[in-house]
Amino acid sequence: MPILTTGAIDSHVQLMGEGSPVVLIHGLLLGSLAGWYFHTGPALSPNHRVILYDLRGHGRSERLASGYDLVTLAEDLGSVLEATRASGPVDLVGHSYGGLVALRFALDHPARVERLVLVDVPLPPSSMSEMKGLEQSGANGLLEALPSGLRDAIVGGGRRARRFLEGIDFLVNRSSLLTDLAAEQDIPDEALSALECPTLLVFGQTSSCAAVGDRLAAVLPRARLQTLPGGHFLPMEVPELLTRAIVEFLDG
Protein backbone atom coordinates (compact mmCIF):
# COMPACT_ATOMS: atom_id res chain seq x y z
CA MET A 1 0.00 0.00 0.00
CA PRO A 2 2.18 2.86 -1.10
CA ILE A 3 0.04 6.00 -1.30
CA LEU A 4 -2.99 6.18 1.01
CA THR A 5 -5.55 8.89 1.49
CA THR A 6 -5.14 9.75 5.16
CA GLY A 7 -7.62 12.35 6.27
CA ALA A 8 -7.44 15.12 3.71
CA ILE A 9 -3.96 14.35 2.34
CA ASP A 10 -2.16 11.67 0.36
CA SER A 11 0.44 9.92 2.48
CA HIS A 12 3.11 7.40 1.59
CA VAL A 13 2.60 4.49 3.99
CA GLN A 14 4.43 1.16 4.27
CA LEU A 15 3.43 -1.79 6.42
CA MET A 16 5.53 -4.71 7.67
CA GLY A 17 4.87 -7.71 9.88
CA GLU A 18 2.00 -8.69 12.13
CA GLY A 19 1.23 -8.17 15.80
CA SER A 20 0.60 -5.18 18.04
CA PRO A 21 0.94 -1.92 16.11
CA VAL A 22 4.09 0.23 16.19
CA VAL A 23 4.36 3.49 14.27
CA LEU A 24 7.80 4.77 13.25
CA ILE A 25 8.04 8.52 12.60
CA HIS A 26 11.01 10.21 10.89
CA GLY A 27 12.53 13.65 11.45
CA LEU A 28 12.13 16.79 9.34
CA LEU A 29 13.90 17.84 6.13
CA LEU A 30 16.52 15.10 5.74
CA GLY A 31 14.17 12.39 6.91
CA SER A 32 11.74 10.01 5.24
CA LEU A 33 10.34 6.63 6.18
CA ALA A 34 13.41 5.12 4.50
CA GLY A 35 15.34 6.00 7.66
CA TRP A 36 13.42 3.30 9.56
CA TYR A 37 12.66 0.95 6.68
CA PHE A 38 15.85 -1.08 6.37
CA HIS A 39 16.76 -1.78 10.01
CA THR A 40 14.23 -0.93 12.68
CA GLY A 41 11.14 -1.92 10.68
CA PRO A 42 12.32 -5.45 9.80
CA ALA A 43 13.67 -5.98 13.35
CA LEU A 44 10.25 -5.20 14.85
CA SER A 45 8.22 -7.01 12.20
CA PRO A 46 8.30 -10.53 13.77
CA ASN A 47 6.24 -9.29 16.73
CA HIS A 48 4.54 -6.16 15.45
CA ARG A 49 2.50 -4.66 12.70
CA VAL A 50 4.96 -1.90 11.80
CA ILE A 51 3.46 1.23 10.27
CA LEU A 52 5.85 3.63 8.53
CA TYR A 53 4.80 6.85 6.84
CA ASP A 54 6.29 9.96 5.29
CA LEU A 55 5.32 13.18 7.04
CA ARG A 56 3.55 15.74 4.84
CA GLY A 57 5.97 17.39 2.41
CA HIS A 58 8.54 14.60 2.89
CA GLY A 59 9.49 11.48 0.93
CA ARG A 60 6.59 10.48 -1.31
CA SER A 61 3.82 12.12 0.71
CA GLU A 62 1.93 15.10 -0.62
CA ARG A 63 3.92 18.34 -0.74
CA LEU A 64 1.78 20.73 1.27
CA ALA A 65 2.56 24.39 1.80
CA SER A 66 1.41 24.53 5.41
CA GLY A 67 0.61 22.48 8.51
CA TYR A 68 4.05 21.69 9.92
CA ASP A 69 3.08 22.59 13.49
CA LEU A 70 2.95 19.72 15.98
CA VAL A 71 -0.82 19.85 16.44
CA THR A 72 -1.44 19.38 12.70
CA LEU A 73 1.27 16.73 12.34
CA ALA A 74 -0.20 14.83 15.32
CA GLU A 75 -3.59 15.00 13.59
CA ASP A 76 -1.93 13.57 10.46
CA LEU A 77 -0.66 10.70 12.62
CA GLY A 78 -4.24 10.10 13.81
CA SER A 79 -5.36 9.98 10.17
CA VAL A 80 -2.64 7.44 9.35
CA LEU A 81 -3.80 5.24 12.25
CA GLU A 82 -7.36 5.47 10.99
CA ALA A 83 -6.42 4.70 7.38
CA THR A 84 -4.35 1.67 8.43
CA ARG A 85 -7.13 0.55 10.82
CA ALA A 86 -4.77 0.46 13.77
CA SER A 87 -7.23 0.04 16.61
CA GLY A 88 -6.36 0.04 20.29
CA PRO A 89 -3.31 1.62 21.85
CA VAL A 90 -0.16 1.80 19.72
CA ASP A 91 3.56 2.09 20.37
CA LEU A 92 5.03 5.27 18.89
CA VAL A 93 8.69 5.67 17.92
CA GLY A 94 9.91 9.02 16.63
CA HIS A 95 13.21 10.67 15.79
CA SER A 96 13.78 14.40 16.30
CA TYR A 97 10.66 16.37 15.33
CA GLY A 98 9.00 13.02 14.55
CA GLY A 99 9.49 12.18 18.24
CA LEU A 100 7.76 15.43 19.16
CA VAL A 101 4.84 14.44 16.92
CA ALA A 102 4.63 11.18 18.91
CA LEU A 103 4.89 13.10 22.20
CA ARG A 104 2.21 15.61 21.16
CA PHE A 105 -0.10 12.74 20.14
CA ALA A 106 0.50 10.95 23.47
CA LEU A 107 -0.26 14.12 25.44
CA ASP A 108 -3.45 14.74 23.44
CA HIS A 109 -4.63 11.09 23.39
CA PRO A 110 -3.07 9.30 26.38
CA ALA A 111 -5.43 6.31 26.08
CA ARG A 112 -4.34 5.63 22.52
CA VAL A 113 -0.62 5.25 23.25
CA GLU A 114 0.86 2.15 24.84
CA ARG A 115 4.56 3.12 24.93
CA LEU A 116 6.77 5.85 23.55
CA VAL A 117 10.31 5.87 22.18
CA LEU A 118 11.71 9.39 21.76
CA VAL A 119 14.97 9.54 19.82
CA ASP A 120 17.01 12.73 20.20
CA VAL A 121 14.05 15.10 20.36
CA PRO A 122 14.64 18.88 20.58
CA LEU A 123 12.89 20.88 23.32
CA PRO A 124 11.86 23.61 23.01
CA PRO A 125 11.13 22.39 19.48
CA SER A 126 12.78 25.43 17.92
CA SER A 127 16.04 24.95 19.81
CA MET A 128 17.98 22.69 17.47
CA SER A 129 21.34 24.10 16.44
CA GLU A 130 21.22 21.94 13.29
CA MET A 131 18.22 24.05 12.23
CA LYS A 132 20.04 27.27 12.95
CA GLY A 133 22.65 26.18 10.40
CA LEU A 134 19.85 25.83 7.88
CA GLU A 135 18.49 29.29 8.58
CA GLN A 136 21.93 30.85 8.28
CA SER A 137 23.36 29.10 5.28
CA GLY A 138 20.59 27.12 3.61
CA ALA A 139 20.78 23.43 2.77
CA ASN A 140 24.59 23.43 2.96
CA GLY A 141 24.42 24.56 6.58
CA LEU A 142 22.12 21.66 7.35
CA LEU A 143 24.40 19.20 5.58
CA GLU A 144 27.38 20.40 7.60
CA ALA A 145 25.65 19.07 10.70
CA LEU A 146 25.88 15.57 9.22
CA PRO A 147 28.82 13.22 9.70
CA SER A 148 30.82 13.41 6.45
CA GLY A 149 30.28 9.75 5.52
CA LEU A 150 26.54 10.31 5.41
CA ARG A 151 26.69 13.46 3.35
CA ASP A 152 27.76 11.56 0.22
CA ALA A 153 25.04 8.98 0.66
CA ILE A 154 22.47 11.75 0.67
CA VAL A 155 23.74 14.24 -1.86
CA GLY A 156 26.64 12.55 -3.73
CA GLY A 157 26.39 12.86 -7.51
CA GLY A 158 24.21 14.91 -9.82
CA ARG A 159 20.76 13.40 -9.91
CA ARG A 160 20.54 12.61 -6.20
CA ALA A 161 21.85 16.04 -5.19
CA ARG A 162 19.34 17.74 -7.48
CA ARG A 163 16.42 15.74 -6.09
CA PHE A 164 17.55 16.37 -2.53
CA LEU A 165 17.89 20.12 -3.09
CA GLU A 166 14.48 20.26 -4.78
CA GLY A 167 12.91 18.64 -1.73
CA ILE A 168 14.71 20.94 0.71
CA ASP A 169 13.95 23.99 -1.44
CA PHE A 170 10.25 23.20 -1.33
CA LEU A 171 10.17 22.76 2.45
CA VAL A 172 12.41 25.74 3.23
CA ASN A 173 11.30 28.29 0.66
CA ARG A 174 7.80 27.29 -0.38
CA SER A 175 6.27 25.85 2.78
CA SER A 176 5.60 27.19 6.27
CA LEU A 177 7.89 24.58 7.89
CA LEU A 178 10.52 26.94 9.32
CA THR A 179 7.93 29.50 10.47
CA ASP A 180 5.84 26.75 12.09
CA LEU A 181 8.93 25.35 13.77
CA ALA A 182 10.02 28.74 15.12
CA ALA A 183 6.55 29.41 16.52
CA GLU A 184 6.36 26.09 18.36
CA GLN A 185 6.32 26.63 22.14
CA ASP A 186 8.08 24.53 24.74
CA ILE A 187 6.01 21.82 26.43
CA PRO A 188 5.78 22.73 30.12
CA ASP A 189 7.06 20.27 32.73
CA GLU A 190 3.59 20.06 34.33
CA ALA A 191 2.16 18.67 31.07
CA LEU A 192 5.07 16.26 30.65
CA SER A 193 4.81 14.96 34.21
CA ALA A 194 1.23 13.81 33.54
CA LEU A 195 2.37 11.39 30.83
CA GLU A 196 1.86 7.90 32.24
CA CYS A 197 3.07 5.63 29.45
CA PRO A 198 6.43 3.84 29.69
CA THR A 199 8.94 5.84 27.65
CA LEU A 200 12.40 5.09 26.32
CA LEU A 201 14.58 8.14 25.69
CA VAL A 202 17.50 7.57 23.31
CA PHE A 203 19.93 10.43 22.85
CA GLY A 204 23.24 10.92 21.06
CA GLN A 205 26.26 11.59 23.27
CA THR A 206 27.46 14.49 21.15
CA SER A 207 24.06 15.76 20.04
CA SER A 208 23.00 19.35 20.67
CA CYS A 209 19.83 17.81 22.15
CA ALA A 210 21.63 15.73 24.82
CA ALA A 211 20.48 17.95 27.72
CA VAL A 212 16.85 17.41 26.66
CA GLY A 213 17.31 13.72 27.47
CA ASP A 214 18.27 14.57 31.05
CA ARG A 215 15.32 16.94 31.41
CA LEU A 216 12.79 14.41 30.06
CA ALA A 217 14.26 11.61 32.18
CA ALA A 218 13.76 13.77 35.28
CA VAL A 219 10.25 14.97 34.41
CA LEU A 220 8.51 12.04 32.72
CA PRO A 221 7.20 9.63 35.39
CA ARG A 222 8.07 6.37 33.64
CA ALA A 223 11.04 7.16 31.43
CA ARG A 224 14.41 5.49 31.02
CA LEU A 225 17.32 7.27 29.35
CA GLN A 226 19.80 5.50 27.11
CA THR A 227 22.73 7.30 25.49
CA LEU A 228 24.32 6.10 22.25
CA PRO A 229 27.63 7.08 20.64
CA GLY A 230 26.68 9.60 17.98
CA GLY A 231 25.12 12.98 17.32
CA HIS A 232 21.61 14.01 16.39
CA PHE A 233 21.13 11.72 13.37
CA LEU A 234 21.16 8.39 15.24
CA PRO A 235 18.95 6.47 12.76
CA MET A 236 21.57 7.13 10.09
CA GLU A 237 24.69 7.16 12.28
CA VAL A 238 24.18 4.02 14.38
CA PRO A 239 21.15 2.20 12.93
CA GLU A 240 22.09 -1.17 14.44
CA LEU A 241 22.59 0.15 17.99
CA LEU A 242 19.46 2.26 17.86
CA THR A 243 17.41 -0.64 16.52
CA ARG A 244 18.70 -2.91 19.29
CA ALA A 245 17.73 -0.38 21.95
CA ILE A 246 14.21 -0.01 20.50
CA VAL A 247 13.67 -3.76 20.13
CA GLU A 248 14.88 -4.44 23.68
CA PHE A 249 12.47 -1.87 25.04
CA LEU A 250 9.43 -2.96 23.02
CA ASP A 251 10.04 -6.72 22.98
CA GLY A 252 12.44 -7.36 25.87
Partner 1 sequence: MTAASAEILETLAGLIRQVIGEDWADDIDIGMETSFADDLELESIEFVQLAELLQNHYGKDVNFVSWLSKMQLDSIIGLKVGQVVEFVAQCQS
Site residues (CB under 8 A) for partner 1?
2, 14, 16, 32-35, 37-39, 41-43, 54, 59-60, 153-154, 156-160, 163-164, 236, 239-240
Q: Which is nearer to partner 1, 201 or 236 (CB)?
A: 236
Least distance from C-beta 40 to partner 1, angstroms? 9
Provide the phi-psi class of 19: left if phi over 0, else alpha when psi is between -120 and 50, else beta: left
Least distance from C-beta 198 to partner 1, angstroms? 26
Least distance from C-beta 42 to partner 1, angstroms? 4
Q: Which is nearer to partner 1, 39 or 132 (CB)?
A: 39
Least distance from C-beta 36 to partner 1, angstroms? 10
Q: Which is nearer to partner 1, 159 or 188 (CB)?
A: 159
- CB atoms near residue 138 (< 10 Å): 15
Least distance from C-beta 83 to partner 1, angstroms? 17
Residue 18 CA, chain-centre distance (Å), reads 22
Q: Which is nearer to partner 1, 103 or 245 (CB)?
A: 245
Q: Which is nearer to partner 1, 41 or 213 (CB)?
A: 41
